[in-house]
Structure 1
Amino acid sequence: MATINPYLNFEGKTEEAFNLYKSVFGGEFQAVQRFKDTPGGDELSAEDAVKIMHISLPIGSGNFLMGTDTLESMGQKLNVGDNFSISVTTESEAESDRIFNALAVGGEIIMPLEKAFWGAYFGMLKDRFGIQWLVNYDYTKDK
């Protein structure tokens, strides 16, 4: 069965925001990845390279608060009010395909489902109601 978690977008304030959330909810970050550590990261400005590409903070049992910085240099624009997505973690590629394709009907595919450099099958879309979704199947579950 798929699980869902909130995914927040910030304009260069992700690390600051997540340090606050960590102080409020406790725990340790499960993942912190900076843009400099991604393919093409060496082509970014020094300022953009150290921004957060992905961060994950466990909250409660099986729930995660996740986030990223938006980079204008990559054509990303933050719009307060729609600066969040719902992240769906699936149990298989087939489940990812089913959920992604059903949500995409009448909507807009932002990034088609494909194998991502971090070891997942991943895609992004906005459904016909304007809700942003991230669909992710983690291949490390197969190991």
Structure 2
Amino acid sequence: MKLIPFLGFNGKTHEAMAFYAQVLGGKVTSEMKYRDMPPMESQEGCGEMPPETLDHVAHSQLEVGSAILMAADGPSSEGQGGTTINIEVDSIEDAERVFNALADGGEIKMPITETFWAHRWGFLIDRYGKPWMVNCMKQP
């Protein structure tokens, strides 16, 4: 299991991650804009992105040695700027177990389901008000 900080920005992810890579001596190993993502209409709460945000970053990953930092720009209506903990697990069973345990007494924002990048992914706010994402990644 990996615990990965996930930073939320409002249109500044590309700039911020390039800065962090320079400062920390790392490398941005992946970056995807919202316009490059496949449609996610089957997921509850995932509608069309506003046109002005299509060039915002949907996912960015910075690697410094064995450490990972992830980030994305959120829809401007959500006032992004917070930090979420991303939990990366190795099996669907672990993803569902961890997600359900963290969701107990909390609020599910995106139910755990299969996505184009993960066998399972979900987003929730735990009973203490902290945001979590749970990922069981597909292999490239």
What is the TM-score with the length of structure 1 in the denominator?
0.85
User: Which residue, out of 42, 47, 56, partners 1:51?
Assistant: 56
SS of 2:78 mapped into structure 1: coil
Gaps of 5+ in 2: 41-47
Could you tell me how far apart the structure 2 residues matched to 1:52 and 1:20 are? 15
Q: How far 1:29 moved relative to its partner?
A: 1.4
* Equivalent position of 1:32 in the other structure: 31
Q: Does 1:13 align with 2:18?
A: no
* Counterpart residue type for residue 92 of structure 2: E
1:42-121 superposed matches below 5 A: 44-45=50-51, 47-61=52-66, 63-72=67-76, 76-78=77-79, 80=81, 83-121=82-120
* Counterpart residue type for residue 58 of structure 2: M
1:31–1:98 distance in 2 versus 1, CA, 3 Å: same
Q: How far 1:117 moved relative to its partner?
A: 1.8
Gaps of 5+ in 1: none
Contact 2:74-2:80 within 8 A present in 1 as well: no
Could you tell me how far apart the structure 2 residues matched to 1:100 and 1:64 are? 21
The sequence identity of aligned pairs, in percent, is 35
Could you tell me how far apart the structure 1 residues matched to 2:73 and 2:80 are? 12
1:120–1:29 distance in 2 versus 1, CA, 3 Å: farther
How much is the aligned-residue C-alpha RMSD, in angstroms?
2.0
After the TM superposition, list the runs of 4 or more consecutive aligned residues in structure 1 that deviate by more than 4 angstroms. Answer: 40-44
* Equivalent position of 2:136 in the other structure: 137
